[in-house]
Amino acid sequence: MLPWFKNWNKDNPTDIYGPAILVGVLGVAVIVAAFVVVVGQPFATKSLQTGPRGTGMVQTEFVSEIENEDPTLAAYYTEEPYVPEDGDRLASEVYENVQVLGNVTEDNFNRIMLAMTQWVSPEQGCAYCHVGAADGNYANDELYTMKVARRMIQMTQNLNEGWAGHVNANQEVGVNCYTCHRGENVPSDIWFRITPVNEAAEGWAAVQNRVTMQSQYTSLPSDALETYLLEDEPIGVHDFASHVDSDPTDPNTATWQDAERTYSLMNYVSNSLGVNCTFCHNTRAFYDGTQVTPQWATESLGIAMVKEMNQDYLVPLEGEYPENRLGPVYGDAPKAACKTCHKGYQQPLQGLNVIADWPELATTSGEYSYE
């Protein structure tokens, strides 16, 4: 090497690391960008505008969560009904002791029984409700499950007919046994009365500050479900002004305890549907019913619907259940709430129409449309 070049290179050193790092960073960025284009953005979101823009009334979810299929969908069983023909015999004419669905044709009755088996007792089969199934005797209703099943059919018919404003709020979806059971004898996310949860305390302190399913594992009150979804107490919060001249013993006066209990219920609803407050409310004015979203009305119907389910159908069955199916504290009947059906999704089974093939479960009239 020429002496002058060696001296010049020594006096003018070249930084080769900076450009190398820059080229490396740019190369990695190009690779990441190409990966996102080809595979997809793992943190991409979709937004549902639930109110006026600029008010924060938007529901944002990860696309990966929206498109993640409910795992219980794969096990759903359905079958198209048989269109009745002249001369078809009714179930009540063929079988003994048919107390519900007796005016359904024999083929459709058997079709429903098969579906209920798949929805509720896929492992036990017909013997789960029929003690004489192995001998072909289906009339014996000695098992409590058969008596409960009759009432659950009636409840399902009532939900589809009387509460369409909730279950079919966006389009026909309906409910059937699988909506809650998902292939299990006992639906998940049922609840029992458990308060007081703090036996060492009296009064308000006795219903909170303990991790329970009812409080969504927070320190909030654990009696919100029984207060609002069973006892039918009014949902409300305390006054916004201080030193209000009111009597806290007046049942029409909302106290700060009512506010905490209401927040406990709302927290439960949010977790049940996998949404946040803006799904139903304008968070700058929770108290103003004129600023809520359409979903608020749907949820209000849902709360009223669950009250009726518990009061008219589920609680009255307490005497039919064996001890192992009753509550651990009070021996009360299992009860339903939002999560029993929704299980973390805005719509149960992600909006699958579960009543399309089951017109017999859609009405209490006894007249079914097979068109």
Burial (CB count within 10 angstroms: exposed 0-12, middle 13-18, buried 19+), residue 207 = buried
Residues 248 and 263: beta-carbon distance below 8 Å = no
CA distance 127 to 134: 7
Domains of the chain: 26-68 (no CATH), 75-171+355-371 (1.10.468.10), 189-342 (1.10.468.10)
Instruction: Tell me what percent of the residues of the chain surpass a pLDDT of 90.
Output: 60
CA distance 325 to 318: 9
216 token code pair: 């969504």
Cα four-point dihedral sign 163, 164, 170, 172? positive
- pLDDT at position 319 is 96
Whole-model pTM?
A: 0.83
Q: Tokens 């299929």 appear where? A: 69
pLDDT of 140 > 60? The answer is yes
- pLDDT at position 99 is 95
What are 276-304's pLDDT values in tens digits?
Answer: 888 899 888 888 888 888 899 999 999 99
Average of per-residue pLDDT across 299-321: 97
Q: Which residues carry a binding-site annotation?
A: 113, 126, 129-130, 152, 166, 177, 180-181, 266, 277, 280-281, 338, 341-342
pLDDT band at 8 (very low <50, low <70, confident <90, very high): low
Q: Tokens 């960073």 appear where? A: 25
pLDDT band at 53 (very low <50, low <70, confident <90, very high): low
Among 70-79, 116-125, 230-239, 243-252, name the one with the lowest average pLDDT: 243-252
Which residues have CB under 8 Å from 367's CB, separation 6+?
A: none
Among 181-195, 198-212, 232-246, name the one with the lowest average pLDDT: 232-246
- pLDDT at position 27 is 85
What are 267-277's pLDDT values in tens digits?
Answer: 999 999 999 88
| 119 CB neighbour count, 10 Å cutoff | 22
Residues 78 and 354: beta-carbon distance below 8 Å = yes
Average pLDDT value for the chain = 89
Q: Which residues carry a binding-site annotation for heme?
A: 113, 126, 129-130, 152, 166, 177, 180-181, 266, 277, 280-281, 338, 341-342
Residues 343 and 274: beta-carbon distance below 8 Å = no
Cα four-point dihedral sign 156, 157, 163, 167? positive
Bridge partners (DSSP) listed for residue 45:
62
280 token code pair: 């139903």
What are 75-124's pLDDT values in tens digits?
Answer: 999 999 999 999 999 999 999 999 999 999 999 999 999 999 999 999 99
